[in-house]
Amino acid sequence: RISEAINRTSAAYISYKKEKGKKEKGDDMRRKKNRSRLLPFGAGLAAGYLLTIGVATAGELVMWLTGADSSMAWLTAVPAAALGSFLCGRTAGKQRRRGGLKTGAVCGVLYCVPLILAALIFGTVQGILLPVKAALCIGFAAAGGVSGVNSPEK
């Protein structure tokens, strides 16, 4: 009799566990999405570089239409890099939703490395401008990362 009671109890417990393990209608909303850790950085870099190209192109068009000297090109390059790196960090922070300052800073480093390499390859390094540009990119991207993490969800 005791063994029958134990068998019935264990069978009831097993069926309870099976019922508990079944998915309910709203379970998918609460589960963490299994996404790549690098995806936010890639999306941020793509968005940042697209904005940088757009702002730089628009600025150069204005300079060309007004007949400005080519030595004034930094007037469009610096804001383009700042806005692009901010958007880069913001996009990564918005997708990652945690560690905004670190996420933005990493995104800023990834953003400015190709710019520094291009400056070294093409020989456009001018004194202190390269470290200033790197600090500008990392700072704006870190601010963008914090902004992205703290932005309201969709």
**pLDDT tens, per residue, the chain with 154 residues:** 666 666 666 666 666 656 655 555 555 555 556 667 888 899 999 999 999 999 999 999 999 999 888 888 888 888 999 999 999 999 999 998 888 899 999 999 999 999 888 888 887 777 777 888 899 999 999 999 999 999 887 6
Helices (H), ranges, 22-152: 27-30, 39-66, 74-96, 100-122, 129-150
Going by C-alpha positions, the residue among 11, 13, 12, 9 that lies closest to residue 1 is 9
In terms of pTM, does the model score above 0.75? no
47 in helix, strand or coil? helix
Could you tell me how far CA 111 lies from the centroid of its own chain?
Answer: 10
Question: Helix-strand-coil percent breakdown of the chain, rounded to 5?
Answer: 80, 0, 20
What confidence score (pLDDT) does residue 123 get?
A: 79
Q: What is the distance between the alpha carbons of residues 112 and 118, in angstroms, rounded to a whole number?
A: 10
**Token pair listed for 13:** 């417990």
Q: What is the distance between the alpha carbons of residues 74 and 70, in angstroms, rounded to a whole number?
A: 9
Greatest CA separation for the chain: 101
**Cβ neighbours of residue 143 closer than 8 Å, sequence gap 6 or more:** 86, 89, 104
What confidence score (pLDDT) does residue 48 get?
A: 95
